[in-house]
Chains A and B, each alone.
Chain A
Amino acid sequence: MWATIIVFASVFVGILGGMFVVPDTIVADIDSISTLMLGFLLFSVGIDIGSNKDALSDIKSKGKMVVTIVASVILGSIAGGLFISYLYHVSTNTSLAITAGYGWYSISAILLKDLASAEVGAIAFLTNVFREVLAFIFIPIMAAKFSHESAIPPAGATAMDTCLPLISRVTTPDVAIVSFLCGVILSSLVPVMVPFFYAL
């Protein structure tokens, strides 16, 4: 639970800082710094994973779990897209394309701005930003209340990068490997699934 609080506080303080304190000229620099920071963070997570040698040798037995979680995210995103399509009377293909971003907001927004419109692109961007934020709330709760593996589906494609440090921290290096593999597969699927669903 404390991880959720730290996560919330970091984002909240950041938003306030972005609104009132940090000058615009520095914000662009922060974006480029954060990319570098993500690199170092993943380097640190990599050391964590590599240190657990038994887990790496065990990777074949994890294939089933990886496929299970990837399928859960794909099916869950379809269900979510259909539900909101019904609620808001948005065309089904647009809805399914928006939720097929799996949390990877940059690529899904660019794709849908190009395929549909700037508004759909903006919705795709925000949806997948919120998805990442919600994942940060769900992950520690799922890991603590249910199973370690159940902390991965909320993360979607971000299970390989932005959510991986958190998953790694609240679960075990074993589960972090499953998380990374799920994220890699889901991220690879985003540029395929978004145009596929939009073309339906």
Chain B
Amino acid sequence: MWKIILFLCTGIAIGLFFNLNDRAKKFNSNLQLLGLVLLLGSMGISIGANPKIMSNLSTIGFQSFLYALASVVFSTIIGLFLIKIVKRGDA
């Protein structure tokens, strides 16, 4: 976790103290998408290569999926509602 914060803060410091031109910003943005694709691909590989996860996906997997779905849906709905109230208060 601290490594993650260190990487992020180093990036923020560079962005703050160097004035990047639009070309550099666009390059940075494309680099992000490439990193995202590679990272998600590697997450997929870890899942696919783990027989424990793959064979249990149908049983405890379904229950886990419902836990995840319910949490994400409720968080999103409550978020939509509360964000709207806060924004209306600011306007």
Contacts and interface: CB of A to CB of B under 8 A. Distances in A.
Q: Which of A12, A75, A81, A127 has the most CB of B within 10 A?
A: A127
B82 A68 contact: yes
Given A30-B46, A88-B63, A169-B32, A43 B7 contact: yes
B42 A126 contact: no
Given A15-B47, A49-B12, A153-B78, A30 B35 contact: no
A13 B45 CA distance: 8
A73 B75 contact: yes
B49 A187 contact: no
Contacts of A123: 60, 63-64, 67
Interface of B: 1, 3-5, 7-17, 20, 25, 28-29, 31-33, 35-50, 53-54, 56-57, 60-61, 63-84, 86-87, 90
A14 B76 CA distance: 28
Contacts of A146: 80
Q: Which 6 A-B pairs have the closest CB atoms?
A: A46-B11, A14-B44, A50-B15, A18-B48, A76-B75, A153-B79
Question: Interface extent on A, as a size class?
Answer: 35 or more
Given A33-B42, A39-B3, A6 B64 contact: no
Secondary structure type dominating chain B contacts: helix
Contacts of A136: 40
Contacts, number: 286
Contacts of A20: 48
Contact of A128 (B5, B39, B43, B68): B68
A154 B76 CA distance: 6
B46 A31 contact: yes
Given A10-B41, A84-B67, A126-B53, A65 B83 contact: yes
Contact of B71 (A39, A52, A77): A77
B72 to A, nearest CB: 5
A119 to B, nearest CB: 7
Interface of A: 6-7, 10-20, 22, 24, 27, 30-31, 33-35, 37-53, 56, 64-65, 68-69, 71-73, 75-77, 79-81, 83-84, 87-88, 95, 98-99, 119, 122-123, 125-131, 133-136, 138, 142, 146-147, 149-150, 152-154, 156, 160-162, 165-166, 168-169, 180, 184, 187
A49 B44 contact: no
Nearest to A10: B40
B40 to A, nearest CB: 4
A98 B67 contact: yes
A35 to B, nearest CB: 8
A65 B86 contact: yes
A116 to B, nearest CB: 13
B16 to A, nearest CB: 4
